[in-house]
């Protein structure tokens, strides 16, 4: 069952405060004072001990009505550039000069954030790891804590309050990524929004079931996913470009005034619609022969793998022409581990359909 609470009941305050900040269990931006910034802790799911996980949110409510844009971070707990990027975006916004609202959500997957881990650890069945980007739109009466947490956020924060959403990520620990967008070009508004970002690569991508971006689009809310390079760090250059693209979105929707900055056109963004995912066939030590953003051709050797004696035990070759998007940074690679993903255009070549076409968030 997916319980929903209407925004007509207004923002619900629990009566608690954390470090002087009010705790809410439901947000209705309609009853917030315009022209100001508002801070809350959103009361999420309970832990096994009965305490709650709390999500920091900041609402910059414009002085005039307009589009409501959500900036969402921390679905995976080791993807930290997303936090810094959204903090910088919010610092650039003056609610007194805005027509519309920005809602910043700082770190959805609270236990994963605390341990700088991609997935949410739960105690059920002796201990499981849950990918929180596979449980949306969630269910307040769901089978585990992350699913219930997602349901609370969906029903009481997202669905009643947002018109547009940007979900900020990086690649997970052990890998590296370009500055990259996933966007569903079947929706012209989403394609237009994606092209406002001066990123390195954009994948025309239909999304995956359970992903927040997919759930938002299915609910009629245009959304896209930004991947800001490496995990566990602040990548200053990629963050700056992410901020610039995000501010372009605010300008495009007339939430703020100003000229559009650099876009995908100025950045020379590479567009594709498929990944070739190369995986280790054996265990051993990887030597990469290419790096992220590098162009590769069909038949090009891209990595070799050695055993403990230094003997080459595997060689990996691209079967497509495209650009390297993700790459393993962990030198030791178990069989089946992702070596790299190459972004390419499926319309540019005819090829064997047996290739692994994994899309996102894989390992």
Residues 330, 224, single domain; the answer is no
Residues 141, 189, single domain; the answer is yes
pLDDT at 6 over 60: no
Predicted pLDDT at 347? 87
Q: Which tens digit of pLDDT belongs to each residue from 215-250?
A: 999 999 999 999 999 999 999 999 999 999 999 999
pLDDT at 123 over 70: yes
Q: Which tens digit of pLDDT belongs to each residue from 27-45?
A: 999 999 999 999 999 999 9
Classify residue 103: in a domain, yes or no.
yes
Q: Which tens digit of pLDDT belongs to each residue from 166-210?
A: 999 999 999 999 999 999 999 999 999 999 999 999 999 999 999
- The CATH number that applies at residue 200 is 3.40.630.10
Task: Tally the domains of the chain.
Answer: 2
pLDDT at 308 over 50: yes
Residues 212, 344, single domain; the answer is no
**Among the three residues 267, 285, 306, which one is the final residue of a domain in this structure?**
267
Residues 319, 251, single domain; the answer is no
Residues 253, 285, single domain; the answer is no
pTM of the model: 0.94
Predicted pLDDT at 1? 36
Q: Give me the mean pLDDT over the 11-32 stretch.
A: 98
Which run of H or of E encompasses 146?
helix 145-153
Predicted pLDDT at 363? 59
pLDDT at 359 over 80: no
Task: Quote helix, strand, coil % in the chain, to nearest 5.
Answer: 25, 35, 40
Residue 262's domain spans which residues?
7-267
**Beta bridge pairs of residue 60:** 37, 102
Classify residue 255: in a domain, yes or no.
yes
Classify residue 358: in a domain, yes or no.
no
């Amino acid at each position: 069952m997916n319980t929903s609470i209407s925004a007509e009941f207004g923002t619900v305050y629990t009566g608690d405060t954390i470090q002087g900040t009010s705790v809410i269990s439901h947000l209705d931006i309609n009853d917030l004072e315009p022209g100001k910034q508002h801070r809350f802790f959103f009361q999420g799911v309970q832990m096994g001990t009965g305490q709650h996980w709390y999500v920091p949110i900041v609402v910059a409510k414009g002085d005039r009505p307009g589009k409501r844009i959500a900036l969402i971070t921390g679905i995976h707990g080791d993807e930290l550039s997303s936090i810094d990027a959204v903090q910088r975006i919010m610092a650039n916004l003056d609610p007194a000069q805005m027509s519309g609202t920005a809602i910043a959500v700082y770190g959805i997957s609270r236990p994963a954030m605390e341990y700088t881990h991609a997935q949410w650890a739960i105690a059920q069945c002796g201990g499981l790891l849950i990918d929180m980007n596979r449980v949306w739109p969630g269910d307040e009466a769901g089978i585990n804590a992350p699913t219930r947490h997602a349901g609370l956020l969906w029903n009481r924060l997202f669905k009643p309050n947002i018109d547009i959403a940007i979900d900020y990520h990086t690649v997970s620990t052990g890998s590296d990524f370009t500055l990259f967008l996933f966007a569903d070009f079947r929706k012209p508004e989403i394609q237009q929004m994606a092209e406002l970002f001066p990123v390195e690569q954009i994948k025309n991508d239909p999304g995956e079931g359970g992903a927040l971006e997919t759930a938002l689009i299915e609910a009629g809310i245009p959304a896209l996913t930004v991947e800001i390079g490496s995990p566990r760090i602040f990548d200053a250059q990629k963050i700056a470009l992410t901020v610039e693209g995000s501010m372009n979105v605010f300008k495009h929707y007339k939430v703020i005034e100003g000229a559009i900055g650099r876009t995908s056109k100025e950045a020379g963004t590479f567009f594709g619609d498929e990944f070739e995912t190369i995986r280790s066939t054996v265990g051993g030590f990887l030597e990469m022969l290419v790096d992220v953003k590098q162009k590769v051709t069909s038949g090009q050797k891209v990595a070799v793998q050695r055993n403990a004696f230094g003997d080459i035990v595997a060689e990996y070759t691209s079967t497509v022409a495209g650009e390297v998007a993700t790459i393993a940074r962990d030198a030791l690679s178990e069989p089946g581990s992702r070596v790299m993903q190459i972004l390419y255009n499926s319309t540019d070549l005819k090829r064997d359909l047996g290739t692994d076409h994994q899309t996102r968030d894989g390992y």
